[in-house]
Structure 1
Amino acid sequence: MDTLHLVLNAVTVIFIAATMFAAGLRATVPALRGVFTDVPLLSLALIANMVVIPLLGWGIGALFSLPSTAFIALVLIASSPGGPFGAKLATVQQGDIVAGAAMQVLLASLGSLTFAPTANALLTAADIGTTVSLDVGALVRTVALLQLVPFAIGLLLRHYAEPTAQAWHPTTAAVSNVTFLIVLAGMLLGSWHDVADLFGSLALLAGFLLAVFAFAVGTLLATGPTTRRTTMGGVASVRNAGPALAAIGLAFSDQPAVLGALAAILLSGLAAALPIATLLSRHRKAPDATPVRSST
């Protein structure tokens, strides 16, 4: 099992890097400028991902009276925005890939700073009796290395060597797709016992509903055309497992029950987000990286 975890971790790293590199190969500087200078879009995305969705996680957990392990896992996931699967969902739904990747990297970077205090506040309010202490510097370095750097390299290639970027993109996208499937299969294989143990506890339903509501919140609290709005919904629906896993290791001593609940909630969330993205992809043409105009 240790070997399986090592292999899955390695494939996950490849998936994240390949996904962000492929997104960078499709991006342009004007398109990114259009995203990062759109103050209404940024403001709404931050409110949705940093405030509304964490509160949703807390509310759903309390409403369903989840066991403490599942409640903790749900709050940790809800408090951690910027999951790399968000960029993948932008591709799956043929949405605004550049805006999705840019927002995902921004949320992951900011989320590495806000995760611990947000999770602490919610767990304290819920009277769980524990605190979350994390190495913020390590989280920021991880986000920079695995997400920001590959995206920046792809962007530079697109800017200075566009023919090379166009030639490399199909292969990079294929690597992203294959490793994505391997990661999903590995999560199921490595945690199916824990997932099965949670049947009847409403934890799976809680994770499913959190993803559905997060998709809706991210879509509603966005600006611009429909493709960009639903892309923001996809980014919001998929949370960042990295800080949550780190919190479990530091604050909960890698408790198997909490880890199993985390895996179950992540998988149930993907089970909600992927079909939504697939349905949205129908009748859409594959987008290209065009400048994003501000809606202001």
Structure 2
Amino acid sequence: MDILHLLFNAVTVIFIATTMFTAGLGATISALWGVFADFPLLLLALLGNLAVIPLLGWGLADLLGLPTASFIALVLVASSPGGPFGAKLAMVQNGDVVAGAAMQVLLAAIGSLTFGPTVNGILTAAKVGGGVSLDVAALVRTVAILQLVPFGVGLLLRHNAPQAARSWHPTAIKVSNVTFLIVLVGMLLGNWRDVVALVGSLALLAGFVLAGAAFAIGTLLATGPTVRRTTMGSVAAVRNVGPALAAVGIAFAGEPAILGALAAVLLSGLVAALPIAAFLSRGRGSLNTHATR
């Protein structure tokens, strides 16, 4: 079981790094600058992901009357933006991959700093759980190593050796797709007992509704063409599991009930977000077209 766990972690790392590397290969510096120079887009994305969605998670948990473990899990997920699946969903919907990947990395980096205070504030105000203390430096390093570095390497390769980048791009996409499927299957097989145990509770519904609502919020709080706006929706819908898992391990002593609820919320969120992205891909051009705009 330990070997399978290690293999799953290794495949997950490959998936994250390859997905970000693929996004970098499809980007250009001018296109990237166009994203970061769009200050309204940045401000709206930060507002939605760092404030609106965490508050939505709190409100949803309170409205549904979730038990303590599920309440905490939903707040942890809602307060942690920048999940690497966001860039993958941008690819699935043939969206603006450059904008999606850039925003995802930015949100993951900033979210590493805001996660602890946000969760603390919500759980304290809701009088649920205890304080959350995290190693912020470790979270930032993780984001840099797994997301920022592969994206930067792909971007530099595209800038300095465009022919090589174009030839590597299809292979990188295939590796990203295969590892994506393996990670999904691994999540389902590894957590099916936790998910089944919560059938009949409202935790699965809460994760599903949170992801769908976050997709809508990310799309509405964005600027630019529809392709870019729905890409921001993808990024908002998929939250970053790293800080949430760290919080469970450090602040809640690896409480199994919270871990189970966390897995259920994350999986039900993907069940909501994936069909939306697949539906949006219909009638859109190739991935390369949107990735290089």
TM over 0.5: yes
Look up the SS of the partner of 1:188 in the other structure. helix
Look up the SS of the partner of 2:231 in the other structure. helix
Look up the SS of the partner of 1:222 in the other structure. coil
Alpha-carbon offset, residue 225 of structure 1: 0.2
Matched-pair contact (CA < 8 Å) for 2:36–2:42: yes
Corresponding residue for 2:187? Answer: 187
TM, length-normalised to structure 2: 0.98
| 1:38-77 matches, cutoff 5 A | 38-77=38-77
Alpha-carbon offset, residue 286 of structure 1: 1.2
Alpha-carbon offset, residue 255 of structure 1: 1.3
Corresponding residue for 1:35? Answer: 35
Deviation digits for residues 116-164 of structure 1 (CA, Å, limit 9, x no counterpart): 0001111111101401110000000000000000000000000000000
| 1:208-219 matches, cutoff 5 A | 208-219=208-219
TM, length-normalised to structure 1: 0.97
Matched-pair contact (CA < 8 Å) for 1:67–1:201: no
Look up the SS of the partner of 2:65 in the other structure. coil
Matched-pair contact (CA < 8 Å) for 1:44–1:221: yes
Gaps of 5+ in 2: none
Corresponding residue for 2:20? Answer: 20
Alpha-carbon offset, residue 69 of structure 1: 0.5
Rounded to whole Å, the distance in 1 between the matches of 2:151 and 2:292 is: 17
Gaps of 5+ in 1: 292-296
Rounded to whole Å, the distance in 2 between the matches of 1:265 and 1:143 is: 22
Deviation digits for residues 232-266 of structure 1 (CA, Å, limit 9, x no counterpart): 00000000000000000101111111111111100
Corresponding residue for 2:255? Answer: 255
Alpha-carbon offset, residue 281 of structure 1: 0.2
Corresponding residue for 2:274? Answer: 274
Corresponding residue for 1:229? Answer: 229
| Percent identity over paired residues | 72
Q: Does 1:246 align with 2:237?
A: no
Alpha-carbon offset, residue 4 of structure 1: 2.0
Flag as ranges the 4+ runs of structure 1 deviating above 3 A: none
Alpha-carbon offset, residue 6 of structure 1: 1.2
**What letter corresponds to residue 175 of structure 2 in structure 1?**
V
| 1:157-172 matches, cutoff 5 A | 157-172=157-172
Corresponding residue for 1:177? Answer: 177
Alpha-carbon offset, residue 2 of structure 1: 2.1
Corresponding residue for 2:87? Answer: 87
Matched-pair contact (CA < 8 Å) for 2:26–2:292: no
| Residue 63 to residue 170, structure 1, CA distance change in 2 (3 Å) | same
